[in-house]
Amino acid sequence: MADEERWIDAARRGDKKAFGHLVEVYQTPIYNLAYRMLGNRSEAEEAAQEAFIRAYRHLDSYDPERPFSSWLFSIASHYCIDRLRRQRIDWLPLKEEIAEPVRLASASPNPEAVVTDRDREAWIQELLSGLPPTDRAALTLHYWYDCPYREIAEVLGLTVSAVKSRLYRARRTLAEQMEGEAYAL
């Protein structure tokens, strides 16, 4: 943590090497956030790069009282939300476009053995792609970053009760999508 504070301090003074250390530390969390949001690896990489570059350009506006991770998540998730909104025409009909989603073999006594990591990934991304961008971000921050409601609210600029509602709504929507599927993992 002390290292991180030093790097942030140095990066704010224009030290690119120090910022490079921060990129190394946060590259996977930011890339994963972008990937879960956008559902595409090359777009996720581009979004992650853009998020880091925006962060570097706006380091002056970072409030050291807040966790650096939240600030970065905020930049990355807003970038992805904007990107998805611009591509709204693409993501709205996505649900219909997916030809044959990956399903679990319900007859199998041990579905975990049947479902490969790749299938699981594809399924998760398929489920996420059916959600509105902000709900997708809330769910991602909740499950992959273990962010408490308050932090999700700060990152996404929402109230805590709006976060709870969005999580509920997202779960409800996804649960309906799982209806009829073999969901006993």
Residue numbers at the binding site for other proteins (CB under 8 A)? 16, 19-20, 23-24, 27-32, 35-36, 41, 44-45, 48-49, 52-53, 56, 120-121, 123-124, 127, 139, 142-144, 149, 164, 167-168, 171-172, 174-176, 178-179, 183-185
**Alpha carbon distance 17, 164 (integer Å):** 39
Shortest Cβ 149–other proteins spacing (Å): 8
> 96: which 2 tokens?
């219909």
Dihedral of the alpha carbons of 40, 94, 183, 28, in degrees to the nearest 10: 20
Nearest to other proteins of 65, 147 (CB atom): 147
Nearest to other proteins of 3, 121 (CB atom): 121
Dihedral of the alpha carbons of 119, 124, 126, 129, in degrees to the nearest 10: -160
**Alpha carbon distance 134, 167 (integer Å):** 10
Shortest Cβ 154–other proteins spacing (Å): 17
Shortest Cβ 99–other proteins spacing (Å): 21
CA angle 75, 50, 128 (to 5 degrees): 65
Shortest Cβ 140–other proteins spacing (Å): 9
**Alpha carbon distance 19, 56 (integer Å):** 7
Q: Answer for the pair 162, 86: CB distance below 8 angstroms, yes or no.
A: no
DSSP state of 42: H
Nearest to other proteins of 89, 135 (CB atom): 135
Shortest Cβ 180–other proteins spacing (Å): 10
Nearest to other proteins of 84, 115 (CB atom): 115
φ/ψ region of 40 (left if φ > 0, alpha if ψ in -120 to 50, else beta) reads beta
Nearest to other proteins of 27, 87 (CB atom): 27
